[in-house]
């Protein structure tokens, strides 16, 4: 490519214009939304870091409070659903209507399983005395010396993430219905996919920073 052409491409990609990212406006807006949502989780995780670093009580060992194999199962479910979502996007792009529908349905099933696991984990911890304000006096968790900031961080982080999974599931169900009725183009599946992968991405950070570290 000669210099003039190169300059024109650079101008188009870096200097603004109609398509500065070389993507459709729908995809650009979706990415901007994802960045803002990621910053929300960044703020929440930094808040968690603050609570943990400023805590005067020792931070409990996660494996003594949670069942880590169970959390690993949740991670497996989410990663698998992300893989099937990626396959759904590619199938939709290639015009394989049936495969895209099947993959979307499997992704929704995975999301439901994840939410079910989260509901089980929450109810289990609440049963052990965990509350948003801290462990109930006299409960199992209080006996283990779990500080209030631990349960606060747990409910806020997993609660926000769970609400994103729920909204992602609603988006996926609407997309599946519209795709089955041939009312949405492949780009609709791609946008739903971007959001679903983002939910998986956030879990990678929560899983490592809250459950493992």
Residue 18, helix vs strand vs coil: coil
Calpha distance 161→142 (Å, rounded): 25
What are φ and ψ of residue 118, in 5° steps? Answer: -65, -40
Binding of other proteins by 122 (CB under 8 A): no
Tell whether residue 139 is a contact of other proteins (CB under 8 A). no
Stretch that binds other proteins, among 31-39, 107-115, 124-132, 154-162 (CB under 8 A): 31-39
Q: Rule CB under 8 A: is residue 85 a binding residue for other proteins?
A: yes
Sign of CA dihedral 112, 114, 120, 122: negative
- What is d(CA 198, CA 122) in angstroms, rounded to the nearest whole number? 22
Q: How far is the CB of 127 from other proteins (least distance, A)?
A: 25
Residues whose CB is less than 8 angstroms from the CB of residue 129 and which lie 6 or more positions away in sequence, other chains included: 135, 136, 138, 139, 140, 141, 142
Residue pair 142/135 in contact (Cβ under 8 Å)? The answer is yes
Whichever of 42 and 163 has its CB closer to other proteins, that residue is 42
Does 72 interact with other proteins (rule: CB under 8 A)?
A: yes
- Which member of 25, 43, 109, 163 binds other proteins (CB under 8 A)? 43
Query: Of 80, 104, 84, nearest to 184 (Cα)?
Result: 104
- Is residue 23 near other proteins by the rule CB under 8 A? yes
Give the one residue of 105, 115, 156, 209 binding other proteins; rule: CB under 8 A. Answer: 209
In the bound state with other proteins, the residue whose beta carbon lies nearer, of 65 and 91, is 91
**One residue of 106, 166, 173, 194 binding other proteins per CB under 8 A:** 194
Which strand (E) or helix (H) includes residue 131? Answer: strand 130-131
Residue from the set 49, 119, 132, 177 that interacts with other proteins by CB under 8 A:
49
Contact of 197 with 86, CB cutoff 8 Å: yes
Contact residues toward other proteins (CB under 8 A) are 13-14, 20-23, 28, 31, 34-35, 38-39, 42-43, 45-47, 49-50, 52-56, 63, 68, 72, 75-76, 79-80, 82-83, 85-87, 89-91, 94, 193-194, 197-198, 200-201, 204-205, 208-209, 212-213
């Amino acid at each position: 490519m000669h210099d003039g052409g190169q300059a024109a491409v650079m101008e188009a990609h870096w200097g603004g214009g109609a398509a500065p990212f070389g993507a459709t406006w729908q995809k650009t807006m979706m990415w901007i939304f994802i960045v803002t949502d990621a910053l929300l989780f960044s703020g929440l995780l930094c808040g968690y870091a603050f609570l943990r670093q400023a805590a005067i009580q020792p931070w409990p060992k996660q494996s003594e409070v949670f069942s880590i194999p169970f959390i690993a199962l949740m991670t497996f479910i989410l990663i698998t659903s992300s893989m099937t979502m990626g396959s759904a996007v590619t199938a939709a792009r290639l015009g394989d209507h049936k495969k895209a529908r099947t993959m979307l349905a499997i992704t929704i099933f995975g999301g439901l399983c994840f939410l079910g696991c989260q509901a089980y984990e929450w109810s289990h911890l609440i049963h052990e005395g965990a509350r948003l304000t801290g462990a109930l006096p006299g409960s199992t968790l209080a006996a283990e010396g779990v500080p209030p900031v631990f349960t606060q961080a747990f409910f806020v982080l997993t609660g926000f993430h769970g609400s994103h999974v729920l909204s992602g599931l609603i988006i996926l169900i609407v997309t599946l219905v519209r795709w089955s009725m041939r009312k949405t183009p492949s780009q609709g599946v791609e946008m739903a996919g971007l959001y679903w992968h983002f939910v998986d991405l956030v879990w990678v950070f929560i899983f490592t920073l809250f459950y493992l570290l």
